[in-house]
Amino acid sequence: MARRFLWVILAAFALAAGADKGTEVRELEWEDLLPPDQEPPASTTWLDHSAMPSFDNFQIPTGVVPELNGQKVKIPGFMVPLDLVEGKVTSSLLVPYFGACIHVPPPPPNQIVYVKFEEPVEIDSIWDPVWVTGKLGLERFASDFVEAGYSMEGEGIEAYRY
């Protein structure tokens, strides 16, 4: 009897440990979204538009990291709301720095995440960075102004703490 009870307890712990691994959240930085053969662009290139090369032969890096597909992740950034319902965000772009997608040129597609929230979320300010948590995907999002190389099934946001 005691031995059977011990096996039940051990099996419960094993199942719980396996369940924890399935819901483990991987914290990412923006460089993690770049393929291994791609160098991160210098921040001055993104922010100082006078330093941008000519658009006649400018190559926008678009590669993604297939291994990230389906992973539950947490990534910091700035939200650019796309769709609102009663003042809450249902879809947004997550970008690595403030002002991205407002000024030309936007970040490369592999540095933009399209986030779709099943439950609308409230954001205090688009000027403040946030952490967004959800399941990352490789589905592209495109509009007339921007292309996102990643997608996310957003589960929640929280304030970013420096």
Question: Does the pLDDT value for residue 54 go beyond 70?
Answer: no
139 Cβ contact partners less than 8 Å away, ≥ 6 residues apart: 114, 151
Of the pLDDT bands very low, low, confident and very high (cuts 50, 70, 90), residue 101 is low
Q: How far apart are CA 106 and CA 100, in angstroms?
A: 6
The DSSP code for 72 is E
> What value does the CA radius of gyration of the chain take, rounded to a whole number of Å?
19
pLDDT at residue 20 in the model: 45
Percent of the chain with pLDDT over 70: 71
Arithmetic mean of pLDDT, 104-118: 91
pLDDT at residue 41 in the model: 63
Average pLDDT of every residue of the chain = 80
Arithmetic mean of pLDDT, 8-31: 62
Arithmetic mean of pLDDT, 130-155: 95
Asked if residue 77 lies in contact with residue 101, where contact means CB atoms within 8 angstroms, the answer is: no
Question: Does the pLDDT value for residue 46 go beyond 50?
Answer: no
Q: How far apart are CA 144 and CA 134, in angstroms?
A: 26
Query: What global pTM score does this model have?
Result: 0.75
pLDDT at residue 148 in the model: 95
